[in-house]
Structure 1
Amino acid sequence: MSADLTKLAKLLQELDDQMVACMKCGMCQAVCPVFSETMRESDVTRGKIALLERLAAEMINDAEGVQEALNRCLLCGSCGANCPSGVQISDIFIKARNIVNEYMGLSPVKKAILRGMVGNPKLFNMLLDFGSKFQNLMTAKASDAQGTRRAPLLEPFIGNRHFNPVATKSLHAKYGTIDTPAGKSGLRVLFFPGCVADKMYTNMGEACLKVFKHHGVGVWMPSTQACCGIPALSAGDKTAYDKMVKYNAEIFAEGEYDYIVAPCGSCISTIMKYWPKYGKEYPADVQAKIEKIAAKAMDINEFLVDVLGVKPEGDAPKGGKKVTFHDSCHLKKGLGVAEQPRDLIRLNKNYELVEMNEADRCCGCGGTFTLYHYDLSKQIGGRKRNNIVDTGAQIVSTGCPACMMQMNDMLSQNRDEVEVKHSIELYAETL
């Protein structure tokens, strides 16, 4: 054990203070995607909080069991959005994961990935840029509709998942640092593409750049920016998370811009909410930088509609190719952005927007959740897949790259001829 007992005691007290408002009413049961599949009380928020109330004793008795129970959560925020007491449940679970990792120590694999690779942007970029050239040697084509591949030789380690390949040339490798002045809009943004748009869905990243150029928005995109830190924070690795946040804060503080814009609700939610919340122990000058940065963070759909005033006029188009929209958890439940991406889709006269059942229900990805609980992730994702297919849509759109990965996997495995696109890609087609 590598625990600092004084630090652990402080964290446990903070956790107790946050849990006081939970009334054990069970309203979380109705909206928890994991509970709906397993029907286990330990998988719903109320059950986990009951565990956390005796966390110190439970860690001593069965630390690995506690860790497993906490990891069986998507951190989708559905329970918090439905909580009548307004308990910040995702924050509680993130803090609890951090406590367990402080007590047990981080596994060598997680430490290598989060601290050694993702937390080191130069090495991370180099490894993926190099690996992209050889990935086809280990993979086989899975689906043309979703552009997915599979890795039969790696199934014992990653399951039979279908995944999109790493881009042959990442966004940062193709463009380097972008630094353009404000145009007709009078605005300039720091463009934060996020890891997935930079390294996998580069078409989506380029669609964002196309949109900025069309509307006369100046762009600063530092090629050296790192991950926002949400994978490490969700995994309970505060050390790796702190490293990424401080690294980015130093870079972002150097530029002049009106907004930080990203095509990923998870990235923006992290910068806007988690950076200030979990940075209170940072030096005062770093905290000041983070507060200033967080105040400028905004999702790209929200930026276009609410700031630039890009909105459809007249009736929604009918008779085009059908597209349905999936509300990602962090975008709708975390940021309150739901109508803006739909407005952008309606601007494309070639598409007819049709709503799916349970549009805002979690797709089952949950970041690292799908890595550790893939079978359960597939069960939840299967429900999302069924709702998509039932609309008869040829395209499903969303505002989250992680959700895109999950839906590509589910649709590809079922041989569905449904494309997965970001809302910005559909809007960019009109320009």
Structure 2
Amino acid sequence: MAERNLKQEIQAKLKDDIMQGALSKFAEQYPGSRLNAYKGQDIEGLRESLRAMKHDAVQHINQLADEFEASLKKRGAHVFRAKDGDAVKEYLIRICKENNVKRVVKSKSMASEEIHLNECFGDHNIRVKETDLGEWMIAIKGQKPSHMVMPAIHLNRYQCAEMFEQELHIDVPGEDIPNMIQLARKNLRQEFLQADMGITGANFGIAENGAIGLVTNEGNARLVTTLPRIHVVLIGYEKLIPTTEDAAKILRLLPRNGTCQRMTSYMTMVDGPTKVIYKNDQGKVVEEDRKQYVIILDNGRLEAAKDPVFQQAYQCVRCASCLNVCPIWTLVGGHVYGHIYSGGIGAILTGLFNGVETFAQFSDLCIGCRKCTTVCPGKIPIPDIIDELRSRYVQKHGAPGMDKTMFNMVLNDRGLFHKLLLKAGAIGQAPFKKGKFIRHLPLFMEEMTKGRSLPTIASEPFRDRVERLMKKNPSKPKKKVAYFSGCNMDFVFADTSENVVKVLQSLGMEVVYPMEQACCGKPILGIGDREAGKETAKKNIAAFEKTGADVILSACPTCTETLEETYMKLFENDPEWKARARAFCSKVCEFSKFVAQEYEKTGRLTHARGGEKVTYHDSCHMKRGLGIYEEPRALIDATPGVELVEMHNCDKCCGMAGSFGMKYQEVSIPMLNEKVKNIKDTGATTAVVACPACMMQIGGGLDKADTGIQTKHIADLLAEKL
């Protein structure tokens, strides 16, 4: 694939008001509609059942394929296992020539899009027509699907009408949707009747009997399988399942997640060739067995099945629910992902089918918010697999030089950063400061403050305050707590770090701060450089081992997740450091969780009377990474003089996502603007967060918009009320 200007493509999509309106409306309605479709169901039980079945299937994928092929052949079908798209196309063109096929109709098949099958038919003068209404319309314009289930979701009725007019050469009013549907039905019915070959995908293929399942709402797939004299099934290995009973596990989830229906309009099972009646070239009515060809597509799937990380992609049922809740896809649509599959799962599939080089061109579009993991019916850890693909890319091509240099020379070298760069920055920011924010920067730096203010560098870093703060430690402490500040809480939000210490000391904790600590390593790990991440992890583990602390505490959920979970994964194949990492990770705890537990012990976690209205934003790493969301609310509820008012979409990403917020401001700022609006709508005077990155983003947005609303870390709120 040629090099692309991704930022330019994103900017064009952000200016597409029609697409923006369609996707934002859909994203707003989807979560509630999905939950309504699951009413009375054990969602997590269903998800786990599907995950377990698909996980087991991929462990025996070759055996399933053999059984599937044998079952099909018993029923009279022809089976071909295709190594890649070229093999599929070569096989199909040969079949077309052998059977004098001139016209082909297709129902929606992402696998056929993946291998660019339609273009191949055109090159051989074979007429091919999509019969899914969305696919039919975008094919007229030469577009690719922007969504796996709703390929034309980015269009409105008037754009659809233009496509009808282009195809049918008549005036088509955009206001009359039923009329458009009737026109499409009339036009496509002739295509079904005249076609020599019908091609379908499959939602699943059952090994025990050779049946395929087709889940649709338009019924076109049934016509594709029953009217033409030849039926071709194109199915990827990942769609193979053992039994009919297993199909029920898919059917309980796929419609609910994909279209928010308990069941789609049509559920079709095809289990081999059937009789077909047609007129031959001499006009004679002929009755014979319909030919069925089943093509099982590899194209990288079997290699993925052997990989313990990538095989999790087999748990995907192509419901596209991960797209429906993805804050990035909702803003930029599917086409910027550059290939056929979009969203987080699309990035993974593109990496597996087309290589890590193609994946790397848009890997930044996953911000790791983990919203997708809460709805995926197969419970696929999409962000984790994307991290693995980033790591494989770096192993092959190396980390970007500038990113690695910045990390090693700045974030990971506290001496250099503290003594030189920090002091220079503190002096340089002076002319632009207004309170705790910088609202405007000059010249080439102007873009950095276009949609949000920036927090100022602390006049006194936290590490310079440590000596005097630790003098206030209790003489008879309950526990020794080693504080991991991370970068922002040391050099930007040093006041908040001081408040962390005050709260801990009020609970009878001795607080220590090892000066040798470095960045947690998330910035370099996020781009896939695990070797650099390991060196940072070793530095931190060694530094905190010396403290002899009972607890290692962080007030940044991103740092906490990295210290507690990622460090263990980094050293799983290193016996010496694995043991040290395990001991280190077992002590790590997030600030609000730790404080809530201590409050609970002393009976302080009780409801306090209301007062000033505050609202709370759930950071992505906090809620979905660490599973912490009740504790901060309990602490706020127990704080005298405040009343918690929940905001709309309280757990939707604010758009910071580490370096993403700076690198892709054009996407980050609309996400921030939505968050600012939701905060303002609560009537709160303070927005409470538990993450310094969110504090930076939301605080900057509220300041830039002159809302007068303060942003506070939960440690600030608690310390004020001591």
TM-score (structure 2 length as normaliser): 0.54
Alignment of 1:266 onto 2:551: no
Shift of 1:409: 2.1
Structure-2 residue corresponding to 1:387: 678
Q: What is the distance in 2 between the residues matched to 1:278 and 1:333?
A: 21
Distance 1:73 1:322 in 2: 34
Q: Does 1:155 align with 2:449?
A: no
Unaligned runs of 5+ residues in structure 2 are: 1-302
Where 1:91 maps in the other structure, the secondary structure is helix
Match of 1:136 in 2: 429
**Which of 575, 580, 602 in structure 2 is aligned with 1:289?**
580
Contact 2:437 2:453 survives alignment (8 Å): no
For the 8 Å contact 2:411–2:487, the answer to whether it is kept is no
Moved more, 153-162 or 65-74: 153-162
Change in Cα spacing, 1:97 to 1:316, as seen in structure 2 (3 Å) is same
Pick from 306, 314, 317 the counterpart of residue 609 of structure 2: 317
Q: What is the aligned partner in structure 2 of residue 53 from structure 1?
A: 352
For residues 28-427 of structure 1, what are the structure 2 equivalents within 5 Å? 28-40=322-334, 42=337, 44-56=343-355, 59=356, 63=357, 66-137=359-430, 140-141=432-433, 144=435, 147-155=437-445, 158=448, 160=450, 161-176=452-467, 186-282=478-574, 284-309=575-600, 312=604, 315-318=607-610, 320-427=611-718
Aligned residue type for 1:338: Y
Measure the CA separation in 2 of the matches of 1:69 and 1:358: 26
Indicate if the aligned counterparts of 1:129 and 1:168 stay in contact, CA closer than 8 A. Answer: no
Distance 1:83 1:124 in 2: 41
Q: Give the Cα separation in 1 of the matches to 2:467 and 2:313.
A: 45
Please say if residues 178 and 221 of structure 1, whose CA atoms lie closer than 8 Å, have aligned partners that are also in contact: no
Give the deviation of 1:147 after TM superposition: 3.3
2:30 aligns with: none
Max Rg structure: 2
Provide the aligned C-alpha RMSD in A.
2.4
Contact 1:177 1:220 in 2 (8 A): no
Deviation at 1:123, TM superposition (A): 1.9
The answer to whether the Cα contact below 8 Å between 1:344 and 1:424 also exists between their aligned partners in 2 is no
Distance 1:132 1:40 in 2: 40
Contact preservation (8 Å) 1:114, 1:240: no
Q: CA deviation at 1:237?
A: 2.0
The aligned counterpart of 1:6 is none
2:315 to 12, 21, 34: 21
Query: How many Å separate the matches in 2 of 1:249 and 1:97?
Result: 25
How far apart are the structure 2 equivalents of 1:325 and 1:54? 41
1:148-167 CA-to-partner distances (Å, cap 9, x unmatched) read 44312343664624200111
CA deviation after TM superposition for structure 1 residue 374, in Å: 0.9
Q: TM-score by structure 1 length?
A: 0.88
Residue 176 of structure 1: how far off its partner (Å) = 4.7
**How high is the sequence identity, in percent, across the aligned residues?**
28
Q: Assess if the C-alpha contact under 8 Å between 1:119 and 1:226 holds in 2.
A: yes
Say whether the 8 Å CA contact 1:179–1:220 is kept in structure 2: yes
CA contact (8 A) 2:613 2:643 kept: yes
The CA deviation at 1:341 is 1.3
Asked if the contact 2:604–2:638 (Cα under 8 Å) also holds between the matched residues in 1, the reply is yes
Q: State the 1:246 CA deviation.
A: 0.9
For each residue in 1:102-151, what CA deviation from the matched residue of structure 2 results, as whole angstroms up to 9, or x when unmatched? Answer: 333222211211223222232222234322431225x5246x5x634431
Stretches of structure 1 lacking an aligned partner (at least 5 in a row): 1-8
Give the 3-state SS of the residue equivalent to 1:133 in structure 2. Answer: helix
The whole-number CA distance in structure 2 between the counterparts of 1:408 and 1:229 is 24
Using CA pairs under 8 Å that are at least 6 residues apart, name the structure with larger relative contact order, 1 or 2. Answer: 1
Aligned residue identity for 2:345: R
Count of residue pairs brought into register by the alignment: 411
Partner of 1:4: none
Q: What per-residue deviation string (whole Å, max 9, x for no partner) do you get for residues 63-98 of structure 1?
A: 3x5323111111111112322222222211111112
